[in-house]
Amino acid sequence: MTEATDLAERAGDRDPRIGLRAVAALRRLLERLESVQVRSARNQGWSWQEIAAELGVSRQAVHKKYGRQ
Amino acid sequence: MFERFTRGARDVVEGAVGHAERAGDADVTPEHLLLALLDAEGTKAAYACAALGVTDRRDAVTAALAEARRRGGVSEADEGALAGLGIDVGAIVSRVEEAHGEGALERTRTKRRRFTGHRSFARESKEVLEQSLRVAIGRGDRSIGDEHLLLALTVRPGVVRDVLAAHGASYDEVVRVLGTS
């Protein structure tokens, strides 16, 4: 964890590499979180329309991304 | 491009497919390429991995890859960068797993049996192969060997680069042990 701690400390130095790394990692995590929540909603009987409305995107977009899983 | 791959590089590509199959994963990812590289014997990549101590720490590398996968593709270095923003990845993973089960954030594995026979390369893996060509050209090499695949993995941002760097195999270190040949 020393590497992680060092990076955390350096984040305060406004190093763009750390900031950009954080953004990229957050994007990956976000994708995974979305997938988990969409799957959970489908398992609970939500329609694609309902899921899309909560995510603020079109029904087609959600269905295209997750419809075949 | 593939006609320029050496026997060693082809073995890594084929080995990666094997790792994906045995894990039941839908795509061949850079993680599978790294695992296949660690299987290599008698090649330049095998030499570099042994010289840097990566081969000896294969279990630790495998564990780090599994842990990053469990955290939704977030490496230890990523975790540190996110902590700088006040985001506690460990807490997020714990809560999601409490609600949705262990490993909930892992990329989903294939459920379609008809895909068991053939696996495609993930976009990231294709980028690694393309990068290996650029690395070979940059080093003035005519063919693409497994050492170029290793170097490509240390260049392309992502979990594999971070795990390699954390275990002593950054791009600079790999270049150093390979020499200028």
Interchain proximity B77–A7, CB inside 8 Å? yes
pLDDT at A2 (0 to 100): 56
Measured between CA atoms, the residue of chain B closest to residue A10 is: B84
What is the reported pTM?
0.86
Interchain proximity B85–A11, CB inside 8 Å? yes
Beta bridge partners of B144: B5
Measured between CA atoms, the residue of chain B closest to residue A19 is: B81
Nearest of B64, B18, B63 to residue B37 by alpha carbon: B18
Instruction: Tell how strand B120-121 and strand B27-28 pair up.
Output: parallel
Least reliable range by pLDDT among B22-36, B38-52, B98-112, B156-170: B98-112
What average pLDDT does this structure show over A32-56? 95
Rounded Cα–Cα distance for residues B34 and B15 (Å): 10
Residue B167 pLDDT grade (very low, low, confident, very high; cuts 50, 70, 90): very high
Domains of chain B: 2-178 (1.10.1780.10)
Domain ranges of chain A: 2-66
Residue with tokens 């390429």: B33
Interchain proximity B76–A3, CB inside 8 Å? yes
Least CB–CB distance from A6: residue in B80, B106, B111: B80
Q: Whole-number mean pLDDT of chain B?
A: 92
Q: CA-CA distances (angstroms) from residue B106 to A25, A42, B122? A: 14, 18, 15
Q: For B4-14, what is each residue's pLDDT tens digit? A: 999 999 999 99
pLDDT at A7 (0 to 100): 56
Least CB–CB distance from B80: residue in A8, A31, A36: A8
Rounded Cα–Cα distance for residues B145 and B86 (Å): 42
Residues of B with Cβ-Cβ distance to A7 under 8 angstroms:
77, 80-81, 83-84
